[in-house]
Structure 1
Amino acid sequence: MPSPWSRRTFLAGSGAAAVAAGLSHASPAAAAPAATSDDAPTAAATTAEAADAFDTLRLRWRALTLGAGFDAAAEPYATKLATLGAAARTSLASMAPATGSLWPDQPLSSTASITGSYARLNEMAQAWAQPATGSTADAALIAAVVQGLDHLYGQVYNENTTPFLPNWWDWQIGSPRLLLDTVTVAYDALSAAQTASYLRAVDHFVPDSAVGSYSGTSTGANRVDLCRVIATRGVLGKSAAKLVLARDALSPVFPYVTTGDGLYADGSFVQHTYVAYTGSYGEVQIDGLARLFALLAGSTWAVTDPNRQIILDSVEKAYAPFLYNGLVMDAVSGRAISRGIATTDPTRIQGDDHRRGHPLLAHIALLAEGAGATERTRWQGLVKGWIQRDYYSPVLADAKLGIADLARLQAIADSAVTAVPEPVAHRLFPGMDRAVHRRADWAASISMASKRITYYETGNGENLRGWHTGSGMLSWWGSTYGNGQYSDAFWPTVDPYRLPGTTVSRKALADGAGGAWGAARPDATWVGGATDGVFAAVGQHLKGLSSTMTARKSWFCLDDTVVCLGAGITSTDGTAVETVVENRNLGATGTHGLAVNGTTQSAALGWSATLAGTTWARITGFGGYVFPGGGGATVKAVREARTGTWAAINTGGTTDALTRRYLTLWLDHGVNPTNASYAYLVMPGATAAATAARAAATGWLVTLANTAAQQGVSVPSLGFTGINFWSAGTVGGVTASIPACVMIRVSGTTATICVSEPPRSGASLDLTWNRPVSAVTAKDATVTVTGTGASLRLTIAPGTTGATHRATVTLA
């Protein structure tokens, strides 16, 4: 399995140097005279190159790595280049070749340290090759790079070494990627014999058989990484056979999958068989594919497989839905959420949702360069919009972005292309049990788990307390507020039993409970929903992790509201069961106000209360919460400061104590509840007046059912009806013959019926709507009309994907 530091630290900035470390330590001496990117050895070396196809590709790969066309004297490049040089000189000063190490703190008995040593050499090579680093063309620096490559070859990474544990990834991806990129940059400083030696080592650890079958560790993002290694080795070794192999071995990545790793037709991306991973492994996959498409374009080895279009389609189908104001949602980032590694030194922050999102923007920008004119303009408009809207963590100031990626993004930011605004849309991803609801001024995601998708992934000592992230976590962000909710040390400081939106037994869990690599999956199949692309009904049959707790949870996603219902909440754990309405991270000093039924509550830390008869609440600066039904709800609340460390949730994290303030609202179902229930509305960005008005409008929401058999609501003003049939039955004039999800939108004399069968039983579904219908004007091929007139009767063909089936009708 992948090492905890692999992509995160060593390769995340492989488009250029990963210069985040030491940013604050750049010395004035590191500054170089004003220069352009063409002043570095990158271009000077090109005059002596043989003009064959392999040299062309090598120089293209070098340009992809280092970037081109940027003004090295301008910001932010000047600071980044100076920082790169300073970091390289620090590595040069501490390099001490010895038996068993190249640097004293990187023992070669550790696979991660082998990759780490190559990472430092790569950084040094780039400082030599880039302009204005203070070490540009420094003969001593490049000599040390060559010495270091020879030392690692002689000591550990050669054709006679037997790979040792713990991590295959370092041998086949982490180390060879960095080695080959370093050879590309330092090519003219190496002898032919040296380059040949390094390539023999790569051939030893990454033989052709590594991509011989699409299985095991050679799938999805890992397969793309392996192809990247083989392709780069082919370029440097002038091997047409290797380039053919790398190109052709990409083809199994392209087609949609229905199980396991890869892209699904609904836009899901899964890695490690059971983990929703668009924002981490998916980022790696699109990165590698964008680079390989660009490398091979126009050459004899160009990627021409027609299924390549699936990858291009994934920009808007799979990635864009999870990008918001420059961040990529934690719901699809797996164990990467535990990699914040934030300390009191901001330059040591390794990643958060924004810093994971920014490279995705750069990959889309690179992919756009090789796309058709229409796609290119649209994608660049998306990227420009994300850049403009990321007020919390400005994209172009991200210290983790390399020069090449930054240059691409800066070019788009400065271009005349029109920024694309946020969409008003809903997307369901049944392939990975996720849903995303988008509005012009806010966005939300819902994370669920089933037999198909894990509650959470732990492994390599990472994400040790992510237990309940798949227990119905409802995350949301505003257009101009709340974008640091999960970025600002949320994961090491939040109460892991009180993630917003979840229903959880307070039963104590051990770190890594349930098993590693996605082993923790509930024996539940009814997880999914139905959508018309604007509104949605979503549901989860929740079974607690290592717990007897069960619940039925529903979300109805509307214009300004997410309606949340829970029923059948039962447990015999001997502990309390809670549904967390909200758990807002207020930052290190936040004192955001809380009003309940219009009365301001205490702002004192340590305040807690049981608030009976709550009909509405509002957190200043965030939004409102409504509790429908006679008499309101009994809501518990606490305002507290919580302290934690990244090391507590990730063994590779720092031990620096971090403290954040939280305002938490929850519903206490008691110890060992039986068939408990709840109902509340989340209104992102709502004012106090809007929240109070919604609470007073008792007829706005009609609860049709809220039991363990069915849950459903109607909102007459929106023409909306949503019903989750956990069991066959009749609710609100709608009858389903088997468990199903039904969403109906009525507008004038037209209605759209959206139906899915989340359990994927393989049985056909008979649906009756007790409403006069004169005609069916459109329908999916999977829908058969069996009757109109006094009522509408439809039969939905058996399915295995949980997809939504539609019919549009004219009402009589």
Structure 2
Amino acid sequence: MSVGRSPTGLEPAVPHISRRQVLSLLPAAGLAAWASPVRAATGVDHARLLANTVAIFAGTPEVNARPEVAGKLAAILRTARQRLAAMDQAGDGELFSGLRLGTDDANLRLAFQYLYEIALATRTPGGELDGDASAQRRVVDGLLWLHERHLQDQSAGYYGNWHNWEIGIPTHVSRTLVLLADRVREVRPDLTATYIASMDAYLRNGKNGDVDLDSRFHTGANLADITANRMLQGALTGDDARVGKAIADQATVFATIDPYRLRHGVTDGYYRDGSFIQHHSVAYTGSYGRILLTRVVQTLKMLQGVTSGGATDLADVVYGWVADGFAPLIFEGWMMEIVKGRAVSRTTTGYADVGLIVEAIADLADHVEGAGALALKKYAKFLPGVDTAAFVSPVSIARYSAIRADPAIPAADLNPPERCVAFNSMDRTVHRRPGYAFALARSSERISKYEYMNGENLMPWFQGDGAYYLYLAGEDQREVYGVDYYTTVSPYRLAGVTAPVEERRTVPELYGRFWYDNPGHPLNFTSSSESQNTYVYFPRAGNAFSGGTTLGAYGVAGMVQSDDAAWTAKQAGTLPGDFVAYRNARATKSWFMLDDEIVVLAANVAGQGGRAATTTVDSRIAAPGDVIALTGEGWDGGAWQAGDTTPPRWLRYANGTRRSAVGYAFLTRQPVTAGLETVTRSRRVVRAANPDTGVTKNVFTATIDHPASGEVSTVAYALVPGATEAGLRRYARGPLTVLANNRHVQAIRHGTLGIVAANVFTDGPHHAGRLLVDGPASVIVRYGERTAVALSDPTTKRDRVTVLLHGAPLRLVTADDGVTVRQVPGGTLVQAATRHAHGRTFTATLR
């Protein structure tokens, strides 16, 4: 299976692989065991699998002797000594001091984690506790104690979060049993089988104590976690069938999701365009996608030499995930906010996320063949150096350090310098240029507006309503985004958002707990019910139009803003009377992504229900001591100052301390409120588990108000990264022209680039400059010696999309499959067969 870019450069490099292809790539051991419920002599080397696993987590004598691994070894030892001390100080009913057990499932999971951390230190070559029989015996005794008091009574167990019982606890238990396999056999030879029987019993979202591929809980990263644990359990007991079925089950996560031919009803996983979805409708590359990447790479390492056959082709699939799923979303070592779900509210996302991805990349390079292996190593060297203390494996630290130190490996990005990626399968767009990256979050009837859960991301309401993030090169992104952005910026004033003027309450404020509880209602609202997911945790939007198209490194995206599923169901009388739902504002929006600017159009803006609305042009944060300058100019050429009521022609926000700037060129006259405010809030306002730490930031906000009069209004402006005042003045003479901005059509022309781009939101033919577009559709045309056309169906529902290019007839040079071109009176008609394309771009080159 080849890797790399397509000849046109317009399609992602993800190797698309079907479920049938996945099964054909599995080792014979996996298939034979999957097909047979009894143990089969299929050649699984269980001892090798266990040895590989110990080496992953504990390292090897050779690796652990390397100086760059010393910090990891010290951390393993330090943690284990802390856990042993906590055991010494434990009170009644405790295994570890401070961890009260019996009603708190998170504490029970931590107790098993602490035992694992002690066990790890006793198997780490070169560590002071390596081979410590006393410490190992304490771990085995601790496993017995926990099982007898808190696990064996399964009628009393399984309280709290299902994830702890089916994934969290089994992960720590399985790894601990692997690390101490010899000691367990010596002290309690029945302990492993006892624990496996209990873990099977707690797999309650499975089937007969095993994975159920039809279960909504056994998908994506969750499935990878469960199956990795079951591989270890099978190796411990010499159970070929268990190992084989776990391999086969996990292999299903490699299959590219085809939304028109779902297997087991699963929408979680990687899509053709590089999108990753978890929880059925949440854009999640940066959190669950990262977990899945880590786990499958660990599995490749665990299974090395374990069965006959290889997994090179599966490794190539994972290479595609990295090249076209992760790389576009990583900017100077920072994972973008738009794909983190509820994790945006955590204090350790961003650079830490990428550190774990880099570990997987370094390891994956040993499993990918040919040019892909070198490309991964170059990328690992290109990204800013990461803190290896967070790496899981000492072996990975040594491997990554060797890559960084090798002068024969040049640093190189997996992204071209200029790239525009339409992740339409998860309603996200990323636009990259030297010096900046622009990331856009959309939503639709297919993709959730946001994710809230378990007290995380408490004020998420507008994060999928066209919120965008403009990352500038050379900045420490922790200072401008991350948890502090959501802490200090109003949730109603996220950059790019049009929100109604109202105050909303968080789920805990509304219901006194982290979820809406009403098990007696026909929808059965419990903490992990489907109704909770649908209406509380990650509600989808109601609009079909959300998508766009790309032409080379240029792009256009559009969205019709709508209410979420909860408001719609509430109006229909489906939800209980005490369930609180909020109505959204309305807007039709487009984003045109070019070289020096991103053009934003909004039309049909209204607060609904007698409310005013506000569109936020930008919100940016800075340290209180940073030197900030806000300048501008009115349409009459006079200076604009904060507090002016006259519409500005342009504004410029500059951080003199960080030497960064963003300009805002307004393409129509509209009053703008802009200013700076010092804001201090606790990080706990966005996540209940965050430390109650006060954060103070200098917050810049530029907004456009829409009155509650019932009149709809329009907005048109361009974001200009790195703008100078002289450069902003030049927008008075072009090159941007707004061709249309209404609820039917939004279109612009860039005279210098020769680009005309349009979103048509409603049915029928609509004009956009020299184009006649049969909507709904997204279109980009770049005129020149050769004219390039790109078009797509953002609704994902149309069989075909057409655009007529008025003027002299053009002849076809090249076209994607499904594109036809013919000359008609008045111009050239380009048509794309978009049925089952899921928003994909179709291109043609004409002459």
- Normalised to the residue count of structure 2, the TM-score between the two structures is 0.82
Q: How many residues align?
A: 736
Please show how residues 412-431 of structure 1 align to structure 2 within 5 Å.
412-415=403-406, 416-421=408-413, 422-423=415-416, 424-431=418-425
1:303 offset after TM fit, Å?
A: 6.1
- 2:487 is the alignment partner of 1:492: yes
- 2:680 is the alignment partner of 1:683: no
Partner-residue secondary structure (3-state), 2:384: helix
1:228 offset after TM fit, Å?
A: 0.5
Letter in 2 for 1:105: G
Letter in 2 for 1:322: L
Per the alignment, residue 480 of structure 1 pairs with 474
- 2:752 is the alignment partner of 1:760: no
Judge conservation of contact 1:593–1:601 (CA < 8 Å) in 2.
no
Per the alignment, residue 840 of structure 2 pairs with 803
How far apart in 2 are the matches of 1:278 and 1:241?
32
Partner-residue secondary structure (3-state), 2:803: strand
How far apart in 2 are the matches of 1:592 and 1:136?
55
How far apart in 2 are the matches of 1:653 and 1:139?
38
1:204 offset after TM fit, Å?
A: 3.2
1:777 offset after TM fit, Å?
A: 0.9
Shift in alpha-carbon separation, 1:701–1:137, aligned structure 2, 3 A = same
1:289 offset after TM fit, Å?
A: 0.9
Please show how residues 213-228 of structure 1 align to structure 2 within 5 Å.
213-228=213-228
Per the alignment, residue 348 of structure 1 pairs with none
Shift in alpha-carbon separation, 1:183–1:159, aligned structure 2, 3 A = farther
How far apart in 2 are the matches of 1:197 and 1:325?
48
Judge conservation of contact 1:570–1:674 (CA < 8 Å) in 2.
yes
Deviations 1:533-556 (A, max 9, x none): 300011111125522511011111
Letter in 2 for 1:723: A
Deviations 1:81-129 (A, max 9, x none): 3343233222211225677532243224222112111111122222333
Judge conservation of contact 1:83–1:133 (CA < 8 Å) in 2.
no
Per the alignment, residue 745 of structure 1 pairs with 782
Aligned with 1:463 (options 431, 450, 457): 457
Deviations 1:585-624 (A, max 9, x none): 103533322222399999xxxx866563342323233323
1:181 offset after TM fit, Å?
A: 1.3
Per the alignment, residue 63 of structure 1 pairs with 55
Stretch of structure 1 that moved more, 217-226 or 404-413:
404-413
1:235 offset after TM fit, Å?
A: 1.7
1:278 offset after TM fit, Å?
A: 0.7
How far apart in 1 are the matches of 2:224 and 2:93?
31
Letter in 2 for 1:589: G
Shift in alpha-carbon separation, 1:400–1:252, aligned structure 2, 3 A = closer
Per the alignment, residue 636 of structure 1 pairs with 673
Per the alignment, residue 528 of structure 2 pairs with none
Shift in alpha-carbon separation, 1:110–1:629, aligned structure 2, 3 A = closer
1:654 offset after TM fit, Å?
A: 2.0
Aligned with 1:670 (options 690, 697, 707): 707
1:763 offset after TM fit, Å?
A: 3.8
How far apart in 2 are the matches of 1:599 and 1:116?
63
Per the alignment, residue 194 of structure 1 pairs with 191
Deviations 1:20-56 (A, max 9, x none): xxxxxxxxxxxxxxxxxxxxxxxxxxxxxxx992222
- Normalised to the residue count of structure 1, the TM-score between the two structures is 0.85
Aligned with 1:53 (options 45, 49, 55): 45
Stretch of structure 1 that moved more, 569-578 or 529-538:
569-578
Aligned with 2:661 (options 623, 632, 644): 623
Deviations 1:763-808 (A, max 9, x none): 4333211032331111122222232575111222242301111111
1:296 offset after TM fit, Å?
A: 1.2
- 2:752 is the alignment partner of 1:717: yes
Judge conservation of contact 2:68–2:401 (CA < 8 Å) in 1.
no
Please list every run of 5 or more consecutive structure 1 residues that lacks an aligned counterpart in the other structure: 1-50, 341-350, 389-394
Letter in 1 for 2:786: T
Shift in alpha-carbon separation, 1:141–1:411, aligned structure 2, 3 A = same
1:567 offset after TM fit, Å?
A: 0.9
Deviations 1:135-178 (A, max 9, x none): 44444433322222221122223485654222221111111111
Shift in alpha-carbon separation, 1:74–1:292, aligned structure 2, 3 A = closer
Please list every run of 5 or more consecutive structure 2 residues that lacks an aligned counterpart in the other structure: 1-42, 260-266, 511-515, 517-531, 565-581
Aligned with 1:692 (options 729, 741, 760): 729
- 2:738 is the alignment partner of 1:703: yes
Letter in 1 for 2:746: Q
CA RMSD, 1 decimal: 2.8
Please show how residues 155-304 of structure 1 align to structure 2 within 5 Å.
155-158=149-152, 163-191=157-185, 192-206=189-203, 209-259=209-259, 260-300=267-307, 304=311
How far apart in 2 are the matches of 1:101 and 1:409?
40
Q: In percent, how many aligned pairs have the same letter?
A: 26
Per the alignment, residue 571 of structure 1 pairs with 607
How far apart in 1 are the matches of 2:846 and 2:675?
49
Aligned with 1:406 (options 376, 397, 401): 397
Judge conservation of contact 2:44–2:306 (CA < 8 Å) in 1.
no
Judge conservation of contact 1:272–1:518 (CA < 8 Å) in 2.
no
Per the alignment, residue 31 of structure 2 pairs with none
Per the alignment, residue 552 of structure 2 pairs with 533
Letter in 1 for 2:256: Y
Judge conservation of contact 2:48–2:306 (CA < 8 Å) in 1.
no
1:715 offset after TM fit, Å?
A: 0.5
How far apart in 2 are the matches of 1:431 and 1:455?
14
Partner-residue secondary structure (3-state), 1:267: coil
1:440 offset after TM fit, Å?
A: 2.2
Aligned with 1:374 (options 349, 363, 371): 371
How far apart in 2 are the matches of 1:74 and 1:639?
51
How far apart in 1 are the matches of 2:303 and 2:801?
48
Per the alignment, residue 21 of structure 1 pairs with none
Per the alignment, residue 595 of structure 2 pairs with 559
Partner-residue secondary structure (3-state), 1:427: strand
Shift in alpha-carbon separation, 1:161–1:683, aligned structure 2, 3 A = same
- 2:161 is the alignment partner of 1:154: no
